[in-house]
Chain A
């Protein structure tokens, strides 16, 4: 494919990306599509299984109404193709011959079983960049293990440090594992395209393990360094940290806030403020002054005093008044708080996308804000909406060939 300039106001060149991913990798294609790549979602004729996943728009099931599908497939096109039939494989090879990128998240070996692995596709397209996003990667003794969001969180150790020390390891509620591998893959795909188009390189294959990607998303906890140097396993600390004191999530009068004292000056400011509000002189005790580690022996006592203070204010009061005192106190937002947040509103975060069945909704698209480039604003595609344009228009199949493929169930 030619290395083509992006349109005005668009970040990425219109790279053609074939997206075969399930939940494990679907965010990768979304990120590239949101910033201007030409991403085609290749779905089985019955549709991506995510189209059946609740919740649905208006709680009414339907293949165009799954909320996960609508979020994860913005700015993509859709074609249908039965990759398990010889005709479907043939057609897919034609698509792959002129694509820049193929991204998939099937079990290891599945693409090879279809004759659609990198080694099979490369001769037809030496510039092809192919990325696989799988739970444990393409090699190693765990490569064929079954996974899920929960299993990825567990295998990476992400859960080991999430939750209360007296309770079980805890899952994050946003299906967190869908992001790290997909983000690393998007970044590696960009590097591979850079290598190909800016350095006269070739295409290549990229293997992304979700387990490894998830491990890098809590690097600052340093689990292996802790074992190597101290023979200790990092673990859960609950709502309040044992590393930085005080730091944690505390109740306010109307919800939750997170606050942390990183520097000695911040402690001076907080303890003074707490004294002004509560009249409790104990907080000014000299024993508590100094760096955040110096308060370690008094963690429980200090936490109790912090809660006595925070529960006297709303989250918003603590947020803004804290800043006046150079203190970082952050509201723990719910999704409704996000939708009304003035900062997000001011920084081109939300984009109204209009979808025939979902109506107009505010989508969080603005990862970056820029005067020069903006995200694309097409909603998720209807099943097979681009079959005619891609198979007919681009690959040049005639109407009769297309209807034959339709009646065979290939598309």
Chain B
């Protein structure tokens, strides 16, 4: 291939593991030009193939595109041998299985290091690969509540507010490329490989940092204060025309307040003493919020946003899927792109899955000289021939045998 060089051209990364964080790391590194070989098996499919339930497989291009996808059942002796051959020719191995599972399969980090002395190992778990919980099973969507942030999210006196997603996974997923690229540079410069361990628990807890310091210094536990802010008012989301439509408004300075009052037509209440300063607006927030909502209620969320942004007041509609899909701004930035996907079906091997048309987000950073590649979306096992024949030099007979006995299935 005579492609222009990419940041990670020539780097080969083996990825073994399902769900969100680890596949996202691999996807980012693949978009940077690494050859990321994703090891999967038709025997035990990643549950993410069935989430969302209404579009089985439709979510996977976000996590798996730009990778080479192969099938190896590492639980079989034949599969384990092929896996080890791949380790010998790879720069990085990353996995999110717990130690007890890896042990059961015969995947042992010191042995991998003997097979390939300078391999970089990225070991990610939910709760931690070492320490008292190292054998504990976990799921990212639950572990996110362990990091301290949920207890400070939501309305006062109500249960913690939860997001219908697995955001801590993404912290981990985007931390790990930094670690892996750093370790590759360090290996080049010092000859030393590294083993790094990360967890969704730690990644989430990092983001509670200021509250952790505040607690130590001032003994203050973070309170749930809904959408309010100690340094801004009005500050919140306000009901607009239509079902479940909201506009967020953040009046953070006296300039914002003056502009806000102008934008809403300078009603008399804007001049009341009770709203004359941030302190007064904070003290009278309940009434203030009602008055603001009287204004937004007559507008669409887009109109409320535009009227405020025109005069420099921070405001945004609370974006829904349709807004994002149709956003002129995101279109101008070519953020969402069409992609094929394969309709996941537990009853059939992946190569029999039907194709479909979906959509996926581009990688957010726009690099001027070495752009992030959107990449081809391979189906599970689509790159078997390339990897087994061209990289490992396996013969057709060998591959056929190992496929028939389900080692490479």
Contact = CB atoms under 8 A, between A and B. Distances in A.
Contact of A150 (B175, B201, B227, B319): B227
Contacts of A227: 320-322, 324-325
Contact of B314 (A139, A151, A173, A183): A151
A342 B215 contact: no
Contact of B128 (A213, A293, A343): A343
Interface string B138-153: 1101110111111111
B370 A235 contact: no
Contact of B332 (A139, A160, A202, A336): A139
B368 A221 contact: no
Interface in A137-176: 137-143, 145-151, 153-164, 167-176
B364 A13 contact: no
Contacts of A192: 7, 367, 369-370
B312 to A, nearest CB: 6
Contact of A218 (B167, B221, B362): B167
Contacts of B401: none
Contact of A159 (B28, B169, B248): B248
B246 interface: yes
Nearest to B186: A6
Given A216-B364, A225-B59, A171 B226 contact: yes
Interface in A333-387: 333-339, 342-347, 349, 358-359, 361-364, 366-373
Contact of B325 (A70, A224, A262): A224
A3 B137 CA distance: 41
Interface in A108-142: 131, 136-142
Nearest to B216: A361
Contact of B186 (A12, A162, A248): A12
B151 A333 contact: yes
B321 to A, nearest CB: 3
A162 B158 CA distance: 14
Given A162-B153, A358-B217, A71 B210 contact: yes
A136 B225 contact: no
Interface string A59-78: 10000000110111000000
A389 interface: no
A337 B221 CA distance: 11
A45 interface: no
Contact of B235 (A145, A150, A222, A232): A150
B16 interface: no
A202 B363 CA distance: 21
Interface in B182-221: 182-186, 188-190, 192-199, 201-203, 205-218, 220-221
A316 to B, nearest CB: 12
A277 interface: no
Interface in A206-220: 206-209, 211-213, 215-220
Given A176-B207, A343-B133, A332 B146 contact: yes
A109 B403 CA distance: 58
Contacts of A68: 210
Contacts of A168: 227, 236-237, 239, 246
Interface stretch (B47-55, B263-271, B383-391): B47-55
Interface string B11-49: 000000000100010001000100000000000000110
A211 B213 CA distance: 28
Contacts of B193: 372
Max chain A CB contacts within 10 Å: which of B203, B224, B315?
A: B315
A241 interface: yes
Given A163-B161, A187-B178, A243 B366 contact: no
Contact of B222 (A200, A204, A335): A335
Contacts of A167: 155
A160 B201 CA distance: 24
B9 interface: yes
A191 B145 contact: no
B222 to A, nearest CB: 6
Contacts of B174: 180, 183-184, 187
B74 interface: no
A86 B309 CA distance: 32
A128 to B, nearest CB: 12
Contact of B212 (A173, A199, A237, A339): A339
A171 B137 contact: no
Nearest to A367: B175
A55 B219 CA distance: 12
Interface in B358-376: 358-359, 361-370, 372
A39 to B, nearest CB: 14
B201 A343 contact: yes
Nearest to A331: B146
9 contacts: A58-B217, A67-B210, A150-B314, A187-B365, A198-B7, A199-B5, A205-B367, A215-B324, A370-B195
Given A141-B328, A151-B315, A223-B325, 20 more contacts: A6-B190, A13-B186, A31-B175, A53-B231, A72-B209, A146-B313, A149-B250, A150-B227, A157-B319, A173-B149, A179-B207, A198-B7, A217-B170, A221-B52, A221-B165, A249-B160, A256-B145, A330-B142, A331-B146, A334-B148
